[in-house]
Amino acid sequence: MKAAVWTRYGPPEALEVREIDEPVPGEHDLLVRVRASSVTAGDVELRRSRSMGLLAIPLRLALGVTRPRGTRVTGQELAGEVIGVGPGVTRFEVGDRVCAHAGFRFGANAELATLPERGMVARLPESVGYEEATTLPTAGLYGLYFSRQAGLGPGQSVLVNGGAGSIGTYAIQLALAAGATVDAVDRGDKAGFLRDLGVTDVIDYGTEDFTRRENHYDKILDVIDKSSFPVAARALVSGGTYLHSDVSPVAALKRSLFRASEGRRSSFVAATDDVADLDHLVAMLAAKQLRSVIDRAFDLDEIVAAHRYAESGDKKGHVIVLP
């Protein structure tokens, strides 16, 4: 089968498309014909092997110290059709349409992939397309985690830092669905796109520092971890919350040393790995309560170009890969 293989840490050219052996499902695994996969910010950072914070050392030990170990197929999220099951599988059957997060098993950017049946795998109704569904298992879930932990509700003022990105597009929609008023930070040339999503005000980070908007927001969702609580706190109202997912030692030290006034606080957002959350997002997509924003689709043979575009800063929403 054809697959995108990760040959070394570094630029997009570290990836190659090769013919490799087809994967064989284990006793409790699904064999899936991949209809769509993606390139996420996490895929880009792993390929570069940069900015992984506290995860850098264990990841290098697990994946390979100087270069990825073995034949490592890239990609962490996919959607497709189950074409085979292991003898111990009970939850899925051949013919099921699914979307899934492969996690650190990787393997999504290929024609075929294996997945554990009790992993983050959700069944898709016929009304949900593979391309739109493949954006849910990473960006959709993190958008849900941010919005849920923020405790969003009607009348709240919310700022999404990185609004035009994969997670940002879902975080904005979920905040609006909760009844909040949403502003976003991103490049100024993406303002029209963000307003079409329902954003009230777009802050161009090239010309304005959102942290100088004193006492403005009930919640700040920093989905790209480009700010920090000590500087962002001034943009919060009394009792407001800054939410982030930065696991770096520097961020942890800043959080431990900084004490904000008037009840302002920082909250770390982490994955819960509950497949019910993925099922919930699939249901929202099917009910047209959410939409998947796909910027560009690349063929698998164009995996280098897909990674290059995903890290360019130009994308709005998601980059997907079609086998």
CA angle at 17 for the pair 13 and 19, rounded to the nearest 5°: 150
pLDDT tens sequence across 115-145:
999 999 999 999 999 999 999 999 999 999 9
Instruction: Determine the pLDDT at residue 260.
Output: 76
What is the mean predicted confidence (pLDDT) over 96-113? 95
Cα–Cα separations (whole angstroms), residue 251 to 48, 49, 230, 245, 266: 21, 18, 10, 10, 11
Q: Are 40 and 76 in contact (CB under 8 A)?
A: yes
For 166, half-sphere exposure in the C-beta direction (CA atoms, 13 angstrom radius) is 25
Instruction: Determine the pLDDT at residue 38.
Output: 98
What is the mean predicted confidence (pLDDT) over 285-311? 98
Instruction: Determine the pLDDT at residue 322.
Output: 98
Q: Which pLDDT band, with edges at 50, 70 and 90, does 213 fall under?
A: confident
What does residue 100 show for φ and ψ, rounded to 5 degrees? -160, 155
What is the mean predicted confidence (pLDDT) over 15-33? 97
Instruction: Determine the pLDDT at residue 300.
Output: 98
- The residue with greater pLDDT, 9 or 96, is 96
Q: Which pLDDT band, with edges at 50, 70 and 90, does 151 fall under?
A: very high
Q: Which pLDDT band, with edges at 50, 70 and 90, does 262 fall under?
A: confident
Q: 296-300, long-range: CB within 8 Å, 24+ apart, which pairs?
A: 296/320, 297/36, 297/131, 297/321, 297/322, 298/39, 298/322, 299/323, 300/2, 300/3, 300/4, 300/17, 300/109, 300/110, 300/111
What is the mean predicted confidence (pLDDT) over 304-318? 96
Instruction: Determine the pLDDT at residue 57.
Output: 65
Cα–Cα separations (whole angstroms), residue 260 to 159, 212, 221, 231, 241: 18, 15, 17, 10, 10
Residue 319 has pLDDT above 80, yes or no: yes
Residue 222 has pLDDT above 70, yes or no: yes
Residue 167 has pLDDT above 90, yes or no: yes
pLDDT tens sequence across 34-90:
999 999 998 998 898 765 555 666 666 667 766 777 678 999 999 999 999 999 999
Fold of 2-135+292-322: Quinone Oxidoreductase; Chain A, domain 1 (3.90.180)
Instruction: Determine the pLDDT at residue 53.
Output: 55
Instruction: Determine the pLDDT at residue 178.
Output: 97
Residue 219 has pLDDT above 70, yes or no: yes
- Between strands 236-244 and 217-222, the pairing is parallel
Query: What strand order describes the sheet that includes 2-6?
Result: 15-19, 2-6, 72-73
Q: For the domain 138-268, what is the CATH code?
A: 3.40.50.720
What is the mean predicted confidence (pLDDT) over 274-303? 97
Could you tell me the pTM of the whole model? 0.93
CA distance 198 to 200: 6
For 29, counting Cβ atoms within 10 Å of its Cβ (0-12 exposed, 13-18 middle, 19+ buried), the class is buried
Q: Which pLDDT band, with edges at 50, 70 and 90, does 215 fall under?
A: confident
Instruction: Determine the pLDDT at residue 149.
Output: 95
Q: Which pLDDT band, with edges at 50, 70 and 90, does 205 fall under?
A: very high
Percent of the chain clearing pLDDT 90 (strictly above): 79
Three-class secondary structure assignment of the chain: CEEEEECCCCCHHHEEEEECCCCCCCCCEEEEEEEEEEECHHHHHHHHCCCCHHHHHHHHHHHCCCCCCCCEECCCEEEEEEEEECCCCCCCCCCCEEEEECHHHCCCCECEEEEECCCEEEECCCCCCHHHHCCHHHHHHHHHHHHHHHCCCCCCEEEEECCCCHHHHHHHHHHHHCCCEEEEEECHHHHHHHHHHCCCEEEECCCCCHHHCCCCEEEEEECCCCCCHHHHHHHEEEEEEEEECCCCHHHHHHHHHCCCCCCCEEEECCCCCCHHHHHHHHHHHHCCCCCCCEEEEEEHHHHHHHHHHHCCCCCCCEEEEEC
What is the mean predicted confidence (pLDDT) over 103-125? 96
Domain boundaries, the chain: 2-135+292-322, 138-268
Q: Report which of 246, 290, 289, 275 is spatially closest to residue 41, judged by C-alpha positions.
A: 246
Residue 91 has pLDDT above 60, yes or no: yes
Instruction: Determine the pLDDT at residue 254.
Output: 64
Instruction: Determine the pLDDT at residue 256.
Output: 63
Q: Which pLDDT band, with edges at 50, 70 and 90, does 103 fall under?
A: confident
